[in-house]
Structure 1
Amino acid sequence: MIRILPLCLGTFALGIDAYIMAGLLPGIASSFDVPAAVAGQTVTVFTACYAIAAPVFGTLTAGKLVRRVLSVALILFILANTLSAIATSFPILLLSRALAGVGAGLYSPTAFATAASMVSAKRRGRALGLVVGGLALGTAVGVPSGLVVAVHFGWRSTLWLIVALGGVALAGVISRMPEATASTPPSLRQRVSVLADPRVAASIAVSFVTSAASIGLYTFAAALLRSTSGVTDPLPYLWAWSLGGVAGIYLCGMLIDATGRPESMMSLVLVLMLVVFPLLGTAAVHQPLALVLFGAWGAAAWSSQAPQQHRLLSLHSDKGGIVVALQSSAHYLGSAAGAALGGIALAAGMRFTQLPLLSTSLIVLALSGQLCVAAWARSDLARAARNVSLIGRDLS
């Protein structure tokens, strides 16, 4: 397992880079004299390029040496974040964020495949869990810690921290990765064939809208706090969001295992968002309540992935890699769409205090779709039970 630690460090750096911009938006907006709505598009370009690059480069790198692929990805990631740290204009910053997203999208699928190939089949789940854990730890611990650095040394210092982490990961990849070749990912035809299943398409659509609502709002969390209650340090709230997320992942996994009903768990997650979001615009002035709401929001946001993955894997257990990749793309594309939608709404005259209501409307849409998915699942279970009953009667 020690051999895959460089992969974990790489995903740790990626996890920070994917979400840190939400806390840096006020500083970025001030440095480049742009509205927060415009600054928020740094999140849009990163997540969009990440989502698009992952499947595209996963196909192009098939058969290539994983050490070389991972090294090129990290070099691009490091150079892009260096450019972000020294950017002298906002267009250059946007370009650098797009390049960082491409580097992240090139790195992630190769890192997951490499981790799985470096251990025995019995230890594969643990290896993948460690690499995925790097992303989660980057968000839960790395983002608030990076914001501490930004408070004391400026927003650019956080990007230099990410550059340093990427450099350490690159050194580990060069020295420890095997001379193996990257496996061939699912073809576009295979992906489309799975997505043609209306049950898969419905779940993917719910994931897309949920991410647009939740991560799109998270992008402007710091600006929302400042405009509603004059909060200049969003760090306690983002810590609450992150720690709530860690707790949410753990509890959601336990409940799914205990009930065997991932569709119902996803419905509960969306109901929790439906309760929290309308309160964010007015409750932020009361710090204790706001911290509780951010914690509950983080728990719901992070918990939304597990039940969706369980549902998709139950539908196509023989095509696990494809459905998980589709779920990941839906999450990141939804995040990009949510950040873009929030920016457009603000540019059109919407106030920051109204952004939670926009996210609420999206959650209503997602919950409506999820209730249909849950009804669909119950129908499938009832049909399967009838078939088992008929088979038992015939045998008797």
Structure 2
Amino acid sequence: MSNRSSQQLPIYLIALGAFALGMASYVTAGLIPMIESDFSVSVAIAAQLVTAFTLAYGLGSPIFVALTPPDRQRTGLLVALAVFVVANAASALAGDFNMLMLWRAVAGIGAGVYLAMGIGACAALSAADRRGKSIAIIMGGMASGVVLGVPLSLMIADQMGWQAALWLVTLLGLLAFVGLGLLLPTLPVAPSSSLRQKLAILTDGHVVTILLVSLLAAIASLGMYTFIAPLLADPNYGAVRSVTPYLWVWGIGGVLGSFLVGPVVDRVRGPVLVLAIMLILAASLFLLPAAASLDAWLAILPIVSWGAVGWALQVPQNNELIVARQAQGDGNLAIALNESALYLGSAIGAAAGGFILLLQMPTWSLAACAGTVALAGALLQVINIRRQPGWIPQAEPHH
């Protein structure tokens, strides 16, 4: 086996784990009706399983990543994956709703820590000029888990019960764990730093700006995703009966965007690429009601580009965070904080969309508000670019 292929194999195994993680993150929402009848709880209570997973993922993972010893990066990655696998198996075996809720939260922490450390491991295993492509493989794995894995596991759950979907997640996670246990080399030791030094990451203006752009992108993209059905069901915007084909198109766009952006990240300056992505995201969201009002099928064009750039964004963002914090040794923590920004943004976006509907504003205003938030992210990115003189060739300092 050549050296390059022996280095690539662990990256694909980490991506397999990310595929399982993508499934676990989004499949629970589809299982709610089955879980609700099985445990005799209301929809509102069953839906809290999603909240438990996402809150634990978003809030718990940065804490556990920060506590991982710098010389135990490989062990930390494997332990996080093991926790994720065990928690999904325990969820499938849970005979009591409160235990199921607890295990979904544990699975969320394992997932968040695994993804942050997995992206960090990929960066460590890749040459600088191939790092973007490696991160894209991981993010593409996660996107595929959402787009392909979730419908597949829901079909299995329909035939064999909701537990079957979680057993499939467990099996895929276990395969990734065994493969990584055998093939993942020892990872470079990160520079040692105290918890206080790690908290100083939040005083790094460059990092905070990157995280804010991710937050605004998630509010716009994932927030609007929650309300794609009410927009397209509106008689003025297609009167669509089933939104499923449009969700598939969004997801397929996401998988393509995640994978295709990798080689671009290694050629185009990250901050400039992020600006372009934010502008395309804003334009796609603004165009969505206009396209849908002409013809429901025309809406596919802005939806596919929105899905592609929404998912693609995290590849250059994670790459920039690794570059920004590599010397301090807390690149993994920066990535975990970025994941937290995405989950927080998704929650804010969903709440804001609900508020817009509560005010009985026209449905087009959902897309218009989402587009405006994406545009605010693009403006913030312009400030980010201008603040970094090294990124603009003519502005390099003279010695």
Q: TM-score surpassing 0.5?
A: yes
State how 1:267-306 maps to structure 2 within 5 Å.
Answer: 267-275=278-286, 288-289=297-298, 291-306=300-315
Specify the alignment match of 1:97 in structure 2: 104
- Structure 1: gaps spanning 5 or more residues: none
Specify the alignment match of 1:332 in structure 2: 340
Contact 2:62 2:336 in 1 (8 A): no
Indicate yes or no: 2:87 matched with 1:80: yes
Specify the alignment match of 1:370 in structure 2: 378
- Structure 2: gaps spanning 5 or more residues: none
Is the alpha carbon distance of 1:208 and 1:255 closer, same or farther for their aligned partners in structure 2, counting shifts above 3 Å?
same
Contact 2:281 2:305 in 1 (8 A): no
CA distance in 2, matches of 1:224, 1:154: 32
CA distance in 1, matches of 2:188, 2:331: 23
* Stretch deviating more after TM superposition (247-256 or 56-65): 247-256
Specify the alignment match of 1:149 in structure 2: 156
Is the alpha carbon distance of 1:46 and 1:272 closer, same or farther for their aligned partners in structure 2, counting shifts above 3 Å?
farther
Contact 1:110 1:182 in 2 (8 A): no
Contact 1:200 1:312 in 2 (8 A): yes
Q: CA deviation at 1:204?
A: 1.7
Contact 1:274 1:363 in 2 (8 A): yes
Specify the alignment match of 1:14 in structure 2: 21
Contact 1:25 1:223 in 2 (8 A): no
Q: Secondary structure at the match of 1:20?
A: helix
Residue among 34, 47, 56 paired with 2:42: 34
Q: CA deviation at 1:299?
A: 1.4
Query: 1:120-161 CA deviation, whole Å, 9 max, x = no partner?
Result: 888877665544543343234323433443454454322221
Indicate yes or no: 2:220 matched with 1:213: yes
Q: CA deviation at 1:334?
A: 3.3
* Stretch deviating more after TM superposition (189-198 or 240-249): 189-198
Contact 1:44 1:339 in 2 (8 A): no
The percent of aligned pairs where both chains have the same amino acid is 32
Q: Secondary structure at the match of 2:87?
A: helix
Contact 1:44 1:337 in 2 (8 A): no
Is the alpha carbon distance of 1:13 and 1:208 closer, same or farther for their aligned partners in structure 2, counting shifts above 3 Å?
same
Q: CA deviation at 1:101?
A: 0.8
Contact 1:40 1:220 in 2 (8 A): no
In structure 2, what residue type is equivalent to 1:270?
A: L
Contact 2:116 2:336 in 1 (8 A): no
Specify the alignment match of 1:241 in structure 2: 250
Query: 1:303-331 CA deviation, whole Å, 9 max, x = no partner?
Result: 332454566577x3765964674355234
Q: CA deviation at 1:266?
A: 3.5
Specify the alignment match of 2:167 in structure 1: 160
Indicate yes or no: 2:275 matched with 1:264: yes
Query: 1:343-396 CA deviation, whole Å, 9 max, x = no partner?
Result: 6975998499988845753542342243143155247559966765x949xxxx
Query: 1:17-65 CA deviation, whole Å, 9 max, x = no partner?
Result: 1233354455556665534x66554333323322333332223331675
Contact 2:227 2:353 in 1 (8 A): no
Contact 2:215 2:344 in 1 (8 A): no
CA distance in 2, matches of 1:55, 1:177: 23
Q: What's the C-alpha RMSD, in Å, of the aligned pairs?
A: 4.7
In structure 2, what residue type is equivalent to 1:326?
A: A
Contact 2:285 2:368 in 1 (8 A): yes
Q: CA deviation at 1:16?
A: 1.8
CA distance in 2, matches of 1:177, 1:310: 21
Q: CA deviation at 1:302?
A: 0.9
Residue among 46, 57, 64 paired with 1:50: 57
Is the alpha carbon distance of 1:299 and 1:126 closer, same or farther for their aligned partners in structure 2, counting shifts above 3 Å?
closer
Q: CA deviation at 1:77?
A: 1.5
Q: Secondary structure at the match of 2:69?
A: coil
In structure 1, what residue type is equivalent to 2:282?
A: V
CA distance in 2, matches of 1:99, 1:348: 33
Contact 2:61 2:110 in 1 (8 A): no
CA distance in 2, matches of 1:74, 1:241: 28
Is the alpha carbon distance of 1:205 and 1:125 closer, same or farther for their aligned partners in structure 2, counting shifts above 3 Å?
closer
CA distance in 1, matches of 2:290, 2:162: 29
Is the alpha carbon distance of 1:339 and 1:93 closer, same or farther for their aligned partners in structure 2, counting shifts above 3 Å?
farther
Contact 2:202 2:208 in 1 (8 A): yes
CA distance in 1, matches of 2:352, 2:384: 35
Q: Secondary structure at the match of 1:53?
A: helix
In structure 2, what residue type is equivalent to 1:301?
A: G
CA distance in 1, matches of 2:254, 2:156: 22
